[in-house]
Structure 1
Amino acid sequence: MNHRKALTALSTVGVLLLSWAIGAALPATAAGSPLSGAASQRAEAVTAAPALKVSGNHLVTSANATTRLLGVNRSGGEFGCMQGKEIFDGPVDQAAVEAMKPWHINTVRIPLNEECWLGTSDAPSSDTSGTAYQQAVHDYVDLLVSNGMNVILDLHWTYGQYTGNGAGCSDVKATCQKPMPDMQYTPDFWSQVAGMFRGNDAVVFDLFNEPYPDAANNWADATEAWTCLRDGGTCTGIDYQVAGMQTLVDTVRATGATNVIMVGGLTWTNDLSQWLAYQPDDPAGNVMASWHSYNFNACVTASCWDSTIGTVGAQVPVQAGEIGQDSCAHDYIDKVTDWADTNGVGYTAWTWNPWGCSGGNVLIDDWSGTPTSSYGEGFKAHLITQNP
C-alpha cells in the first residue's frame, strides 16, 4: 500500500510470539493418550498449507490441484520496528489465527521492512530488529502454515532517499515506501529470507510491494521505467542504485529456494500493460505477476482489466496482492473480486488491522475478527462463497 493510502496504527497490545505445531489449539488430553471424538475430527481437519508451484497460468499444489490465494494483508511488520513499536501491530498468536478462520481465509500477506530484518543501525532497537525480527517472522509464518494458510512475504519498506513524485518521505531510512528496491540492502534481505524459507514452498515471495519508477521519471519514458523495473541500476529520478527484479529473482534462486515469486508492474503495480515483455527470467519457472487494485487507481474498469491484467493472466498466474477502496463500502472490491473469480486471479484485501474504517480499507473492528461495516462484512461474505 503506498503512502497515499497508508493508515496510522493506534496503540497496540503486546506481541505473543509462539511457535505452534499443527493442532496446537486443540483441547489438552491425557499424556500419551490419543485424541478422541470431536477433538480427533478437528485434528484430522487441520492440515498444513500446501506447497505451491506455477503450472501454465495457474498455481497448483504438490497434488497438482489448481488453487488460488484468497485472503488478507496483515500490516505492521513494515513499520512497527522502525517506529520504535512492537514488531507486529497486535497479536500473532493462535487465538489471532483462529479469528481468521471463520472468514475462510487461505492466505495471509505479511509486509516486511528490510532494515528491520537485517538489523541495520537505522533500526531503533535490537529487541525488535535483526535476529528478534527474523525469529518473529519465522514463528508467525510457521503458525499460519500449520493452520492451513499460505503466506506471502512482501518487501514493503526499503532503504534509499527519494523525494520525487509520489514520495512518502524524504528519509533515506526504510521509514516509508520507495519507488524501487535498493542495491544496498535488498539483495541481502532476499538472500536471507529465501535461505530461511528454502524448502517451505507454502511461502510465496513478493519481491517488492508497489514499484513506481514511472512516477520517478515523471511518466516521461515508459520503456525506461519498465527497463528500470527489470534491470535496475541507475534509473531516472531515483538517486540510489536500484536492484531490478532480475537481480532479485537471481538472488532468491542462488539460495536453492524454489518458492513461487511475485513480480509487480508499474504505477504502484496497477499497470501490467508491458509485464510480459519485461518479465524476468526464472530458471525454476515459478514467477507470477503481482497486481494491486484500488478505486482511486487508473485501471479500475472491467474493460481495462480484460485488456491488461487478463492478457497477462492468460499466460502466467496473477495475484492481486492488495485490493481495497477509500470508503467503508465494498462496491468496488465486489467488482474486483467478481472479475478475479471469473478470470482465475487470487486476491488479498487490505487490511486485517482494527484501525477504524473511516478512511476505508480496514477489514476488522477488533482482533477477534469482527468485520467492519460494511467493507469487512462484504469481503467476508464473498470469501466464504469462494472457500466454502
Structure 2
Amino acid sequence: MLLHARRQARWIALAAVVALLAGTGLYLQLRTPTASGVLADTGAAHAVVEGNRIVDARSGRDFVPRGVNWSSFEYACAQGWGMSALDNVVAGSPATAEADAIRAWGANTVRLPLNQDCWLGTRGAPVSDQYEERTVEGYRADVHRFVTALNRAGLVVVLDLHSRKRIGQPEFGNLAMPDSESIAFWTSVATAYRDNPSVMFDAFNEPYSRYSAGGDRFLFDLTWQCWRDGGCQAPVEDDQSATLGQVTYPVQGFAAVVSTIRDTGAAQPILLGGLDYANDLSHWLEFAPDDDQLVAAFHSYDFKACGDPDCWDDVLGPIAETVPLLTSELGARHPEDGYVGRYLDWADEHGVGALFWVWADHPADPMALVSDESGRPTPYGRQARSWLTDHLPR
C-alpha cells in the first residue's frame, strides 16, 4: 500500500501543477506513460477515488464514467478469426477510427473485456487460423494500441477480466470466480498499465453460483465470504458448459486479486462486481476488501433480480453514498421497452455512471449499439447516444 500511496500522490501533485498552469492561461498537455513505457499525449481523465466519488486528479472535479462496453477482445482471439473486431476496420488507423467514433457519441469511458487465456497464452490461445499465426505478444500489442487510441481520444479505459477460451470449443465462457491463472493475468496486466492513470481495472466480470441441471439445487453456492477470501471450490467448467461439479478448482477471492494488483505498484481504481453475475450487491459494503480505491460494479439488466427501483433504492443507494458505484454493464432483452430509460433516470438522480452493453455489430443481438464498424447507431444506439451527449459539459 506504500507504493500505492506514493504513486497516487505523484499523480495528484502533477495534476496540481496542471491546474495551476491552466488557471494562469497556460496549457500543459499531460504526457502519460503507456504500457510500452513510451510517453504519449492523452486528454483522458486521471481517475482517482475520493470518498464516494471518482474525481479527475488533474482538476479535482467529479468524473462520472459514462460510455460503452467495446466487445471483441474477449472472444475473437479464441475463435481464430482475429485478435478483435479492429481487424475488420480498414479505413485509416483502425484503433483511432474506432476510438474517435465512440468519443463522437459523447462517451468518456470504454470498458474493454479481455480474455484471460489470450493474454496469458494458456489453453492454446490466441487461436491461429490457416492464414495467420497469432501470439500472446500480438494480442497484448493490439490491446495496447487500442488503449492508447482510446486515451488519446479522451476516453478512460476499464480493463476487464471477462472470459477465458473454452476448452475444445470455438466459443468463450466465464468461470464462476478467479482462479490461480487469474492472479497471473492481473500481475501481468497491472504491471503493464500501472503507470497509466487513465486506466482502471475490473477485477472479474461476473461472479456467480452454479445450479444443477434441473435447477433445483446448488452445485456451487458462492458466498460473500468466499467472494472476498476465496478458498471454496468452484466447477472447472465455465457457464456455457454442463457440469456435475465433480472437478473443481480453489477460488481466488477478491482480496487476493486486489492485493495482486497493488503489489505491482498499480494505484488505479479497481472495480468489484457482486454475486449473481454482478447484479447482487447486497453485502458489498460488508465484505469489500480494505482498499481506498475500490468501485462497486453493478450489472443492470431487466432479467435479473435487482431490476426495479425498490432494489436500486434499498441496495444500491446506500452503496452510492459510501463508495463510487458504476453500472459497468447496462442492457435489456428489449432495450427500447423502457427499462433502460428508467434505470438511467435513477442513475442520474444518484450521480451513478453507466456503460452500455454493447458497442458491437451483432445483427441478432437486440443490445447491439451499432450496425457497422463506423459506429452507425441502431435504435438502441440512438437512445444511448442521446443520453451520453446530454451529459457532455456545456
Q: 1:319 to 1:219 in 2, by over 3 A?
A: farther
1:171-227 Cα deviation digits (max 9, x unpaired): 6999311211111x1001000000000111210100100110375897769996111
- Answering whether residue 52 of structure 2 is matched by residue 52 of structure 1, we say no
C-alpha root-mean-square deviation of aligned residues, in Å?
Answer: 2.6
- The residue that corresponds to 2:318 in the other structure is 311
- The residue that corresponds to 1:26 in the other structure is none
Distance 2:139 2:219 in 1: 39
Q: 1:213 to 1:371 in 2, by over 3 A?
A: same
Q: 1:223 to 1:133 in 2, by over 3 A?
A: closer
1:21-67 Cα deviation digits (max 9, x unpaired): xxxxxxxxxxxxxxxxxxxxxx99x9510111111101011121111
Q: 1:84 to 1:236 in 2, by over 3 A?
A: closer
- The residue that corresponds to 1:83 in the other structure is 79
1:70 aligned partner, one-letter code:
R
Q: 3-state SS of the aligned residue for 1:100?
A: helix
Q: 1:140 to 1:219 in 2, by over 3 A?
A: farther
Instruction: Please state how far the C-alpha of 1:236 moved relative to its aligned partner.
Output: 5.7
- The residue that corresponds to 2:70 in the other structure is 74
Contact 2:176/2:234 (<8 A) preserved: no
Distance 2:105 2:353 in 1: 16
- The residue that corresponds to 1:229 in the other structure is 227
- The residue that corresponds to 1:348 in the other structure is 355
- Answering whether residue 201 of structure 2 is matched by residue 195 of structure 1, we say no
- The residue that corresponds to 2:386 in the other structure is 381
TM-score by length of 1: 0.79
Q: 1:149 to 1:172 in 2, by over 3 A?
A: same
- Answering whether residue 136 of structure 2 is matched by residue 114 of structure 1, we say no
Distance 1:270 1:369 in 2: 29
- The residue that corresponds to 1:297 in the other structure is 304
Distance 1:94 1:371 in 2: 18
- The residue that corresponds to 2:137 in the other structure is 131
Q: 1:309 to 1:223 in 2, by over 3 A?
A: farther
Residues 241-252 of structure 1 aligned to structure 2 (within 5 Å): 241-252=250-261
Instruction: Please state how far the C-alpha of 1:382 moved relative to its aligned partner.
Output: 1.1
Distance 2:383 2:174 in 1: 29
Compare the two structures and name the one with the higher strand fraction.
2
Compare the two structures and name the one with the higher helix fraction.
2
Distance 2:357 2:222 in 1: 30
1:365 aligns with one of 367, 371, 375: 371
Contact 1:292/1:322 (<8 A) preserved: yes
Distance 1:221 1:65 in 2: 46
Distance 1:150 1:247 in 2: 25
Distance 2:137 2:70 in 1: 21
For structure 2, the residue ranges without an aligned partner over 5 or more in a row are 1-28, 31-40, 237-247
Q: 1:338 to 1:215 in 2, by over 3 A?
A: farther
Instruction: Please state how far the C-alpha of 1:69 moved relative to its aligned partner.
Output: 0.6
Contact 2:56/2:63 (<8 A) preserved: yes
1:307 aligned partner, one-letter code:
D
Distance 1:177 1:290 in 2: 17
Contact 1:56/1:315 (<8 A) preserved: yes
Q: 1:235 to 1:197 in 2, by over 3 A?
A: same
For structure 1, the residue ranges without an aligned partner over 5 or more in a row are 1-42, 160-168
